[in-house]
Amino acid sequence: MILEDLPHLVVGACMTVHQVLGSGLLREAYEECLAVELRGLELKVERGQGLSFDYRGHSITGAARLDLVVDEVLLVQVLVCEQVPDMERQKMESLLRLGGLKSGLLVNFQVPIMRKGIERFTVKRRSPEV
């Protein structure tokens, strides 16, 4: 599979989950169903992976939880909220940078049209190591 196709496959899986479940469930339900859909596409999915990183020579563990890491390259963070707070966008950028991932999707299932609930993030440049 071509790496550029991965976000499109994940968006399609999100749309399927949203179409079947609709809005109004707990975040964990969407996360689990999305993992089922992605595994059905024969993608490698890790749920609830802890974020670990080095900070000035010290290993930091358990700093955050990554909802879904797909094929070891794409981070998918699942939300259920009326509007996505800017804090969630900033968090996504930090998770990508500290997790060494190049791209991610912030997916809000509490929307009437799924496409409007998906934001794509890409790490454009490397910042200095913390």
From residue 52, alpha-carbon distances to 5, 12, 47, 62 in Å are 27, 29, 15, 6
Torsion angle of C-alpha atoms 21, 25, 29, 30, degrees rounded to 10: 60
Distance CA 13, CA 122 (A): 20
Question: What residues form DSSP beta bridges with 68?
Answer: 47, 76
Beta strands 103-108; 74-79: pairing state: parallel
Predicted pLDDT at 2 = 60
82: which 2 tokens? 């009326």
pLDDT score for 89: 97
**Per-residue pLDDT tens for 98-126?**
999 999 999 999 999 999 999 999 987 65
**Whole-number pLDDT of residue 1:** 55
Query: Which residue reads 């699942």 in tokens?
Result: 78
Q: pLDDT tens per residue, the chain (130 residues)? A: 566 789 999 999 999 999 999 999 999 999 999 999 999 999 999 999 999 999 999 999 989 999 999 999 999 999 999 999 999 999 999 999 999 999 999 999 999 999 999 999 998 765 555 5
| Confidence (pTM) | 0.91
pLDDT of residue 25: 97
**Amino acid 4: pLDDT:** 77
Q: What is the pLDDT of residue 127?
A: 53
30 burial level (CB within 10 Å; 0-12, 13-18, 19+): buried
- What structural domains and CATH numbers belong to the chain? 3-122 (3.40.1350)
